[in-house]
């Protein structure tokens, strides 16, 4: 295990993907048990599908709401939230839509791909938060269908959000990517901004990814186990001299 210590870094960005929530029971997108293996995104997760059959798309998203509502943040989410409480410069940039970072207590969270717990009306633009699982009424008061406020295939990321996340990356001293296959752009390449800014880059994953070469430290194992090891390394053993 590396001798990295979070306390050596002022600005720490955690860049998380579906593997972060896997231990909570939320399925990943790719690999074994990945949801895109079972559910074709062209039928369930793009604007064309929604325009064609909004009820079918809502069925899928209500299923996901129900599934995530039954999951709890895991020890990894909680460790990240604890680090944020202990020090100011901790930011989470996540591709996850499950809200588990926030439920664990993280507050500085940029949700690049939107949220399962928010809706947006395409006609009037109204955004609403709701933790109902399933969402009972998928109609906006204006009469149009609400859609999940999620970045689907073919959608653009919010430029404000992307700018804010990019800024956080560019100010990072330490970038920790956790549980992402680094296969969806533009999110996947955000860690390059941290690299250009001279940050130390750490990748936590079960396996290598197409961008693993970018990282100074490639730590293999589950998110919660590796984060626990990094946090333990940061805590001096009882009786040991501070250094
Ligand atoms: P993926 O499902 O593509 O990748 C999950 C990654 O997590 C893989 O690299 C796994 O090896 C790793 N992994 C699995 N379990 C893990 C664990 N317990 N600890 C550590 N790593 C683990 O998920 P993302 O990279 O998040 O976008 O996918 C990116 C985007 O693709 C998602 O945000 C979603 C999807 O299409 C949208 O829906 C817009």
pLDDT digits (tens), the chain, 243 positions: 567 888 899 999 999 999 999 999 999 999 888 999 989 999 999 999 999 999 999 999 999 999 999 999 999 999 999 999 999 999 999 999 999 999 999 999 999 999 999 999 989 999 999 988 899 899 999 999 999 999 999 999 999 999 999 999 999 999 999 999 999 999 999 999 999 999 999 999 999 999 999 999 999 999 999 999 998 865 554 444 333
pLDDT of residue 2: 60
| Burial bucket for residue 55 (CB in 10 Å: 0-12, 13-18, 19+) | exposed
pLDDT reported for residue 4? 86
Same domain, 31 and 99: no
Q: Is there a catalytic annotation at residue 113?
A: yes
Strands lying side by side in the sheet with 127-129: 127-129, 114-121, 146-150
Residue 220 CA to ligand 1 center (angstroms) comes to 15
Q: What atom in ligand 1 is closest to the CA of residue 28?
A: 2
Concatenate the DSSP letters of all residues of 159-215 into one string.
HHHHHHHHHHHHT-SEEEEES--S-STTGGGTHHHHHHTT-EEEEEESS--TTGGG-
Q: Which domain, by its residues, includes 66?
A: 27-70+118-150
**37 and 88 housed in the same domain:** no
The domain tally of the chain equals 2
Residues 171 and 57 in one domain: no
- What's the predicted TM-score (pTM) here? 0.95
pLDDT at residue 240 in the model: 40
Of ligand 1's listed atoms, the one at least distance from the Cα of 113 is 39
Which atom, in ligand 1's list, is nearest to the CA of 45? 38
Pair (186, 224) in one structural domain: yes
- Token code pair at residue 128: 């609403």
Pocket of ligand 1 (CB under 6 A): 17-19, 22-23, 28-31, 34, 95, 113, 151, 179-181, 183-184, 204-207, 209, 222-223
Q: What is the pLDDT of residue 104?
A: 98
- 97/37 same-domain check: no
My answer on whether 220 and 105 are in the same domain is: yes
What is the structure's pLDDT at 128? Answer: 95
Shared domain check, 109 and 38: no
């Amino acid at each position: 295990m590396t001798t990295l210590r979070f306390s050596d870094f002022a600005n720490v960005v955690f860049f998380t993907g579906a593997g972060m929530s896997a231990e909570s029971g939320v399925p990943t997108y790719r690999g074994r048990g990945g949801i895109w293996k079972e559910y074709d995104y062209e039928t369930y997760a793009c604007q064309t599908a929604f325009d064609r059959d909004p009820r079918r798309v809502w069925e899928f998203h209500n299923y996901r709401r129900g599934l995530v509502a039954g999951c709890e943040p895991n020890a990894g989410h909680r460790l990240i939230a604890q680090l944020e409480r202990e020090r100011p410069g901790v930011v989470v940039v996540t591709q996850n839509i499950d809200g588990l970072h926030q439920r664990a207590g993280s507050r500085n969270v940029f949700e690049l791909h939107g949220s399962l717990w928010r809706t947006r009306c395409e006609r009037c633009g109204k955004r609403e938060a709701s933790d109902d699982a399933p969402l009972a009424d998928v109609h906006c008061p204006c009469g149009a269908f609400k859609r999940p406020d999620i970045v689907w295939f073919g959608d653009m990321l919010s430029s404000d959000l992307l700018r804010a996340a990019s800024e956080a990356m560019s100010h990072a001293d330490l970038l920790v990517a956790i549980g992402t296959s680094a296969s969806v752009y533009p999110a996947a390449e955000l860690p390059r901004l941290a690299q250009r800014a001279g940050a130390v880059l750490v990748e936590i994953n079960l396996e290598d990814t197409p961008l693993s070469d970018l990282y100074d430290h490639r730590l293999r194992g589950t998110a919660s186990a590796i984060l626990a090891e990094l946090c333990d390394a940061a805590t001096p053993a009882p009786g040991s001299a501070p250094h």
